[in-house]
């Protein structure tokens, strides 16, 4: 019961963060709904009457990495999935101010993990944590996955190969393939997703903590962040409440939160701390601290500014027409049987 009361208490103190999560979830759901209409029409051999939502490219991280290398080497933003790069750059830019706060404020998988943790609290009296050595070994998986993607793209793909990939049917239809992954999911994929969901109930933030390469990359980039959790040892009573609520399992009382790759600036530790001034999210440049509202405003400002700039410079919408989509789907045998 104490475990459940603690969970309830610190979530109530973070209503702003939860509303930001739900706001972005609503945007994602709307994008998903529009894209389902778009892709469904193409599958049925009908040119869509709805516009393809560019925001769907947020779920194409491989395209974003390929586009990033292509942009760095050529100065050209690829016109197939340009918003994938734009959104990726915005997310990476947020680490300058709010570490890997994307995971705690925007990512829908982060939100799902929190609700699965709530289910964990309902089932178990005490939180289940893996032994430190085993936990460290498992955490290396996500960094390994991120390293593999970066190595293959940035060190193994020359510009001609990248150009060929960008304009290949596989890349053009990457968003359609993502849609079909869920609408025509294989038993193996369903088993894997179900297994990850089950493990996320048993172990807090299982996907985020051990498997997500996106979070691993943001964690590494967060070393340049201006904002950090600051511990004032003179105010700390060593009660340990901050560490009990920390989703990253960071040793906050040892000062590790300031530099840990696992810190997502969720501020759960700050809200749980009973001693005023012991913990705060600190900006050394202006020697000031901010709360959940300040972090939320940073995210809203950076996403709004970044997307607006991309639209004004014509780097937001794909230049691939519906007719080209239809042609590639037909040649790849992706139309429904009656239209093949």
pLDDT digits (tens, 9 = 90+) for 50-107: 999 999 999 999 999 999 999 999 999 999 999 999 999 999 999 999 999 999 999 9
Global pTM reads 0.92
Backbone angles phi, psi at 288, to 5 degrees: -135, 165
- Indicate the DSSP class of residue 58: G
Tokens of 150: 């970066």
Closest CA to 218 of 286, 148, 265, 267: 265
CB atoms within 10 A of CB 77: 19
Report the C-alpha gap between 200 and 194 in whole angstroms: 10
Burial class (CB in 10 A: 0-12, 13-18, 19+), 56: buried
Q: Check whether 8 has a pLDDT greater than 50.
A: no
pLDDT digits (tens, 9 = 90+) for 314-334: 999 999 999 999 999 999 999
Distances (CA, A) of 297 to 16, 97, 221: 10, 11, 21
Strand order in the sheet with 228-231: 228-231, 279-283, 288-290
Mean pLDDT of the chain: 91
pLDDT digits (tens, 9 = 90+) for 226-267: 999 999 989 999 999 999 999 999 999 988 888 899 999 999
Report the C-alpha gap between 275 and 80 in whole angstroms: 52
Closest CA to 180 of 312, 58, 54, 333: 333
CB atoms within 10 A of CB 315: 16
pLDDT band at 337 (very low <50, low <70, confident <90, very high): low
Report the C-alpha gap between 82 and 74 in whole angstroms: 14
Tokens of 123: 């089932």
pLDDT at residue 13, rounded to an integer:
55
pLDDT digits (tens, 9 = 90+) for 272-309: 999 988 999 988 766 678 888 999 999 999 999 999 99
Torsion from C-alpha of 148, 149, 154, 155, nearest 10 degrees: 30
pLDDT at residue 2, rounded to an integer:
41
pLDDT at residue 318, rounded to an integer:
95
In contact, 254 and 309? CB cutoff 8 Å: no
Hey, is 288 helix, strand or coil?
strand
- Write out the E strands in 8-150: none
Nearest 5°: CA angle at 112, between 109 and 116?
135
Question: Which residue's entry shows tokens 């794909």?
Answer: 318
């Amino acid at each position: 019961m104490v475990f459940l009361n603690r969970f309830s208490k610190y979530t109530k103190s973070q209503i702003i963060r939860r509303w930001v999560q739900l706001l972005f979830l609503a945007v994602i759901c709307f994008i998903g709904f529009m894209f389902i209409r778009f892709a469904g029409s193409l599958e049925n051999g009908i040119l869509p009457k709805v516009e393809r939502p560019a925001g769907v490219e947020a779920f194409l991280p491989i395209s974003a990495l390929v586009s990033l290398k292509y942009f760095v080497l050529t100065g050209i933003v690829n016109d197939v999935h340009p918003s994938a790069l734009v959104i990726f750059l915005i997310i990476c830019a947020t680490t300058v101010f709010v570490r890997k706060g994307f995971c705690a404020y925007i990512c829908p998988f982060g939100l799902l993990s929190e609700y699965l943790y709530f289910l964990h609290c309902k089932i178990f009296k005490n939180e289940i944590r893996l032994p430190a050595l085993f936990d460290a070994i498992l955490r290396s998986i996500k960094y390994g996955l991120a390293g593999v993607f970066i190595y293959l793209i940035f060190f193994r793909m020359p510009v001609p190969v990248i150009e060929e990939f960008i304009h290949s049917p596989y890349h053009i239809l990457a968003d359609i393939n993502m849609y079909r992954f869920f609408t025509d999911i294989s038993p193996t994929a369903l088993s894997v997703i179900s297994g990850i969901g089950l493990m996320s109930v048993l172990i807090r933030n299982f996907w985020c903590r051990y498997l997500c390469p996106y979070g691993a990359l943001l964690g590494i980039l967060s070393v340049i962040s201006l904002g950090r959790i600051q511990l004032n040892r003179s105010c700390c009573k060593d009660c340990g409440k901050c560490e009990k609520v920390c989703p990253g399992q960071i040793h906050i009382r040892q000062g590790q939160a300031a530099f840990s790759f696992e810190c997502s600036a969720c501020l759960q530790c700050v809200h749980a701390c009973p001693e005023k001034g012991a913990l705060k999210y600190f900006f050394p440049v202006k020697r000031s601290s901010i709360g959940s509202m300040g972090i939320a405003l940073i995210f809203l400002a950076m996403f709004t500014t970044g997307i607006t700039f991309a639209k004004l410079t014509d780097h937001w919408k794909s230049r691939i027409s519906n007719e080209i989509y239809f042609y590639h789907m037909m040649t790849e045998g992706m139309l429904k049987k009656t239209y093949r």
